[in-house]
Structure 1
Amino acid sequence: MPAAQVDFSALPAGYPHEVWVSADGRTLFARAQEGGCDRVHGEVREQTAQRVVVSLVKTQSPPRGQMCTMDIRYPVVSVSLDEPLGQRTVLLLSEDSRH
């Protein structure tokens, strides 16, 4: 995707800046960041004719009585779009959801 089509400004410093779309334009992929007991998934927050807003949601579910490692992973997350992305811009957000 062209760099001008993606807004990474709301992501934390050091977060991956990698986004692409499927051949049919209906699936958006993004490189995310997680570590230890954290897991990340994508959620579409908004879809308009001008832009798509995707939140990369980090959840933490530490196992009872177990320690979490401090490793960092960079999984690919995907979200389905109602319509092909086309020329719409993508805004990526990051949020924490503790469980």
Structure 2
Amino acid sequence: FQKAESDLDYIQHRLEFEIMKSLPDNPAEEENPVTLLEELSVMKSRYKTLCIQLEKVSIEQRESMKSIRAALENTMKMAQALQEHTDLE
């Protein structure tokens, strides 16, 4: 993943350089490919942050489900023990 990201960063910088060489002096912001590439870089960073947050949420969800299952299993055992105890009396 790091190699691919490094390659993409190199390509991005190379594209920025090539675009800057071929652009007129003052292109409009919405027409400026360098601006679009910068926005792409920001979006890539946000995506990476979201992936990290999503992984944390996923881990917490698994831990919560494990805890819920354990509590439910314990409750079922207690209910069964109470039922058996009341049947004996």
TM norm structure 1: 0.19
Q: Which has the higher contact order (CA 8 A, sep 6+)?
A: 1
Task: Decide which structure has greater strand share.
Answer: 1
